[in-house]
A and B are shown apart, each in its own frame.
Chain A
């Protein structure tokens, strides 16, 4: 009985003595109301069922950067695939069974001379089919405004300090394209198979704020 000797009130606490999480009683925002209204109309008019909408949300939530990592690992292992991926990202992904749907994918390759980093200054465009939901920082005004103005300072905050003889190439995702950075393959990974290579490729490396892990 760890709590039986002191005298402060446990009112509002759970039986185990922890505070309850606050209920989300704030009024709905304009866009939350809009989303509910559109969703209910779609169901009422027979365009989609509630189950189909829930299933799509679950599919979106299930996507992870692992798909993108598998694309990178394939490109590292197969030079012909890499050439096709850089020429037409969507077609190359479809070729290995990754559903790109309407996404128009541009893959940009990091080299010893050029480092690519992706941002969407206007909103938060992101290759969700390959990387899942974007991290919160990707959607924040600080990342979106600073990456086009002082990308090197932003990258340093992510732990990536690039020498001045490397060109930083920023991609502002302003319209229909989605961008995937193909990181440089780490040295000493010649013997690794695709699955082991994919483990070296994190989400941040495919956005361009990090390098692939060296193992």
Chain B
């Protein structure tokens, strides 16, 4: 059987709250990263506050509708990003959010590899029927990566976000279980 947590470039793991907070506080200082990942205003939080937040998450224990991962490279074992899943258990739909905080790993296939692991986890392990995500229109790199993973553009909320004095659309993408399964067969896996 395939290792669910190991891709071609990265592996999924979960770091301790201290490690997560130390990385997060660095990533937050990169406002471009923040603008690609999130629609909220760029804000800075102390390492202590972020750590408390992760600790609270850890104390809540296992929840079947929420999954959190940290991402490390296979080569050199660098901690580069995160992956989170929010699951609608009733309708078997998962929402994913991913981010690579370490800039030197942008545009090199790491995000695509993360997303492929995510799809495998969502469809082969959680048995979901669809996987959804949203992104800002100005995030062309992410759009290309998601298309490569088989996501289809399903809609857009026009002019939803105000950034740098301009309004921009939010794009919504999704992939169905059957579509993912078909891609796996196509790859000869």
| A and B interact physically | no
